[in-house]
A and B are shown apart, each in its own frame.
Chain A
Amino acid sequence: MIDWLLDPAHWSGPDGIPVRLIEQVGISGISLLIAAAVALPIGVWIGHTGRAATLAVNAANIGRAIPSLAAIGIIAPITQAFDPELGFKVYPTLFAMIILAIPPILVNAYAGVAGVDRELVEAARGMGFRERQILGRIEVPIALPVIAGGLRSATVQVIATATLGALFGFGGLGRYLVDGVAQNDDGQLFGGVFLVAALALVAEGGFALLQRALTSPGLRRAGSSSGVEPA
């Protein structure tokens, strides 16, 4: 495995580690961004207004129950109908990544905002905050750790799904796993395992740090006194 990882030949060309890594990181990042762009506003809005909360939470729970593989499988026949080539190789995994990233982001955004003490929100309103100011200055900052937790979950999910995509003709680091097994090449297989695991752990750890950084020191000391923790 170490030999394989250190072999310069594996660090160049269109099948090289840098290209695969960028592929996987880039596509994962884009999927996350798209999912966040959809899920964050909805989750925050539901948390603030309390409207449609049951519906959203149930939908998100169903979303979280969908197996990644099943998501890819269901999407494949549909996208194939539009684009026989990419629609069977790239889009199923890409769409699955986006779709599967939405529920954790949405649920945490909702729970984080809804979990902010209502007394606090009313105190802010009573002092003359506009609704947007309540959201932007009170609810979202206090909910940030929970919101970041959702992004963190989604990231783990997205990277795992991208890896799985290799089975369906999707690029990325998962290819080393698939090819390693197919070619009985343990060096490539374990090199791939190492890279995939390292990427997932680094991304997860990065989000954990981000989560800490986004937590106001006042909240850190307060523990759960602000009522941020969902039940």
Chain B
Amino acid sequence: MDTGRGRAATVEFDHVSKVYGPTAAKAGRAAAPGAVNDLSLAIPAGRICVLVGPSGCGKTTSLKMVNRLIEPTSGRILLDGVDAASREVTDLRRGIGYVIQQTGLFPHQTIVENVGTVPRLLGWAAPRIKERSEELLGLVGLDPAKYARRFPSQLSGGERQRVGVARALAADPPIMLMDEPFGAVDPIVRERLQDEFLRLQEELAKTILFVTHDIDEAIKMGDLVAVFEQGGRVAQFGTPTELLAAPASDFVARFVGADRGLKRLSLSRIRDIELRPAVTGRIGEPAGEARRRALADPLPYLLLVDAQERPVGWLRDVEIEGDGVLTEAMAIPMSPLLSPETTLKDALSMMLDADVHTGIVVDRAGRVTGLVTTEVIGGFLREPVQAATAKHQPGERKPAEP
């Protein structure tokens, strides 16, 4: 399936300013309060860069300057190194996907016509447009047989947003601009659209500028996050982890919220941290030897496992009888089971729910691979950012260009 994998471009804001109002623009006073002031930002190809900030801080303005719906008052925007201002404007726009909160779907056209909009502008042949449109509908999870002939008014909010995304992807643009694309749907649908979009992006690897005012969405969606403050100034630009672990200013700290520690936990998974080795004893093993091993470890418990190394329950080390063998009957109920994919936030939450301090990490086959304790998680939060291995580290994903 030609989903356009790998077609991505860099986007660079180079000292870009925008002052609304003809007088202010003409006067060109340096002190004039612009909507965007001297914005410089370099976004690598194939990444999602989220512009986040309070309402009215210039996110939309910045976004619209990329496809020149708004012309900068000064400065340049480079797409793959080429100044956007030097391109023919409609040509430029046809090469940039654009998704807005209200979807902007054309109410008088069917879904399949809506999706085929840009290919039609580009003069593709009708059969190719149809094929591409249906392929894209499938890609965003809408059955073409069911949806193609409908009109936007016959779709739910979430479905409309999917069509909006499909339409923006139609001509396989290297860059996508998304202005609060999931802002108009309810939280549950939003979450699903976010997840689906992230999965799609894994495959597409487009360069995406994503505007939101919701810090949680920013942290979830962004490989990189630019926190805007009033006047289109970037208060901090970095990975979500950097933002949460080391806010650059009071403004950023307040914007990311007092719970930024917890938010960081949702960014990292069990596989990202160093596990405590588990002291295990197999069912049927001589008890004395197991007891000795358990007592040597600071944790006052021995983890009882079955023949396949799958956890069965805990044994308190001092209570293990010196003779005989380990049996299932001795075990007390287990801590929560965690997988390497579990986020630290979920892990902590499960441990608190079960009123224990230790979680058992198992692999796909259910075999014990180690333990997580609340102290380990606390220690993770105290580590400096550079050491934290989060999924969003910029160096982690290879850039898409060769």
Task: Find out whether the CB atom of A221 lies under 8 angstroms from the CB atom of B98.
Answer: no
> Given A123-B100, A126-B69: A218 and B108 within 8 A (CB)?
yes
> Given A122-B104, A127-B117, A142-B107: A218 and B98 within 8 A (CB)?
no
Q: How far is the CA of A167 from the CA of B90 in the complex (A)?
A: 57
Residue of A nearest to B164 (CB): A123
Residues of B within 8 A of A226 (CB): 107-108
User: Which residues in window 167-198 of A have CB below 8 A to B?
Assistant: none
User: Closest CB of chain B to A122's CB: distance in Å?
Assistant: 6
User: Which residues in window 73-105 of B have CB below 8 A to A?
Assistant: 90-96, 98, 100, 102-105
Q: How far is the CA of A136 from the CA of B118 in the complex (A)?
A: 15
Of B147-155, B287-295, B320-328, which binds chain A? Answer: B147-155
User: Which of B67, B107, B177 sits near A222, CB closer than 8 Å?
Assistant: B107
User: Which residues in window 91-139 of A have CB below 8 A to B?
Assistant: 117, 119-120, 122-130, 133, 138
Task: Find out whether the CB atom of B117 lies under 8 angstroms from the CB atom of A217.
Answer: no
Residues of A within 8 A of B374 (CB): none
User: Closest CB of chain A to B308's CB: distance in Å?
Assistant: 56
User: Which residues in window 143-201 of B have CB below 8 A to A?
Assistant: 151-154, 167, 177
Residues of B within 8 A of A120 (CB): 104, 106-107
Task: Find out whether the CB atom of A222 lies under 8 angstroms from the CB atom of B152.
Answer: yes
Residue of B nearest to A133 (CB): B121
B369: Cβ under 8 A from any A Cβ = no
Q: How far is the CA of A141 from the CA of B152 in the complex (A)?
A: 15
Interface centre among A120, A127, A216 (most CB of B within 10 A): A127
Residue of B nearest to A144 (CB): B108
User: Which of A122, A130, A141, A221 sits near B69, CB closer than 8 Å?
Assistant: A122
Task: Find out whether the CB atom of A119 lies under 8 angstroms from the CB atom of B117.
Answer: no
Residue of A nearest to B89 (CB): A128
B110: Cβ under 8 A from any A Cβ = yes
B109: Cβ under 8 A from any A Cβ = yes
User: Which of A117, A124, A222 sits near B153, CB closer than 8 Å?
Assistant: A222
Task: Find out whether the CB atom of B69 lies under 8 angstroms from the CB atom of A222.
Answer: no
Task: Find out whether the CB atom of B108 lies under 8 angstroms from the CB atom of A221.
Answer: no
Bitwise, A205-231 to B at CB < 8 A (1) or not (0) is 000000000001111011101100000
Q: Count residues on chain B whose CB falls below 8 Å from chain A CBs.
A: 30
Interface centre among B69, B102, B108, B118 (most CB of A within 10 A): B108
User: Which of A123, A124, A129, A221 sits near B151, CB closer than 8 Å?
Assistant: A221
Q: How far is the CA of A129 from the CA of B120 in the complex (A)?
A: 10
Residues of B within 8 A of A223 (CB): 153
Task: Find out whether the CB atom of B153 lies under 8 angstroms from the CB atom of A130.
Answer: no
Residues of B within 8 A of A117 (CB): 102
Task: Find out whether the CB atom of A128 lies under 8 angstroms from the CB atom of B91.
Answer: yes
Task: Find out whether the CB atom of A126 lies under 8 angstroms from the CB atom of B98.
Answer: yes
Q: How far is the CA of A65 from the CA of B100 in the complex (A)?
A: 43
Task: Find out whether the CB atom of B102 lies under 8 angstroms from the CB atom of A127.
Answer: no
> Given A128-B118, A221-B151: A123 and B104 within 8 A (CB)?
yes
Task: Find out whether the CB atom of B93 lies under 8 angstroms from the CB atom of A125.
Answer: yes
Task: Find out whether the CB atom of A119 lies under 8 angstroms from the CB atom of B121.
Answer: no
Residue of B nearest to A119 (CB): B102
Task: Find out whether the CB atom of B90 lies under 8 angstroms from the CB atom of A138.
Answer: no
Q: How far is the CA of A219 from the CA of B110 in the complex (A)?
A: 11
Q: How far is the CA of A46 from the CA of B69 in the complex (A)?
A: 21
> Given A120-B106, A219-B108: A128 and B94 within 8 A (CB)?
yes
User: Closest CB of chain B to A212's CB: distance in Å?
Assistant: 14
Q: How far is the CA of A133 from the CA of B154 in the complex (A)?
A: 25
User: Which residues in window 18-49 of B have CB below 8 A to A?
Assistant: none
Task: Find out whether the CB atom of B153 lies under 8 angstroms from the CB atom of A218.
Answer: yes
Task: Find out whether the CB atom of A127 lies under 8 angstroms from the CB atom of B108.
Answer: no
Name 5 A/B residue pairs within 8 A (Cβ), A-sorted: A126-B98, A127-B167, A128-B93, A222-B153, A226-B108
Those 8 A-B pairs whose CB atoms lie nearest each other, nearest first: A123-B104, A218-B151, A216-B108, A128-B94, A128-B93, A222-B153, A126-B98, A226-B107
Residues of chain A at the chain B interface (Cβ within 8 Å): 117, 119-120, 122-130, 133, 138, 141-142, 216-219, 221-223, 225-226
- Given A123-B98, A128-B118, A222-B107, 16 more pairs with CB closer than 8 A: A122-B100, A124-B104, A124-B106, A125-B69, A126-B67, A127-B98, A128-B90, A129-B90, A129-B121, A216-B108, A218-B153, A219-B108, A221-B151, A221-B154, A222-B152, A226-B108
